Amino acid sequence: MGSNGTDIAARLADASRPGCGIERTLKVLDGKWTTLIIRELLTGPKRFGELRTALGDPSAKTLTDRLRSLEHQQILTRTVYAEVPPRVVYELTEQGHSLGDILYAMLVWGETHPLEDA
């Protein structure tokens, strides 16, 4: 299955509890749609409306909140084109793109895990 669990355990034992790397990552990926937003953007830049549709219609407020938060944390960039009607494109930064490793691990795990219905 996974790689060598023993090495991982060693690294994890090292990670001092208060504010370890995992906790910092969790803070970035916090919130209901955050991780899925990144999933969508890993396949390329997208507009606000495209994201909304692809995710299955989260409320505009929530989506805005998440995008703003991710922008503030340098995970993605927000580009406004002064057209009418307006066009806003969201795109992952280098930092944001590097989250792909985590998402990929999640994808692999989720696909092999027999899911118990809640």
Round to whole Å and give the CA distance between 75 and 93.
6
Which amino acid, 5?
A: G
67 binds, among its own copies, DNA, none (CB under 5 to 8 A by kind): DNA
- Is 49 an interacting residue with respect to its own copies (CB under 8 A)? no
16 binds, among its own copies, DNA, none (CB under 5 to 8 A by kind): none
Is the CB of 83 or the CB of 116 nearer to its own copies? 116
Beta-carbon count within 10 A of 89 CB: 15
Q: Give least dist CB 78 to its own copies, A.
A: 15
Which amino acid, 27?
A: K
- Is 1 an interacting residue with respect to DNA (CB under 7 A)? no
23 binds, among DNA, its own copies, none (CB under 5 to 8 A by kind): its own copies
Q: Give least dist CB 79 to DNA, A.
A: 10
57 binds, among DNA, its own copies, none (CB under 5 to 8 A by kind): DNA
Residue/partner pairs of 24-32 with CB below 8 Å, 24 or more apart: 25/102, 28/70, 28/73, 28/75, 28/99, 29/99, 29/102, 31/62, 31/65, 31/66, 31/69, 32/58, 32/62
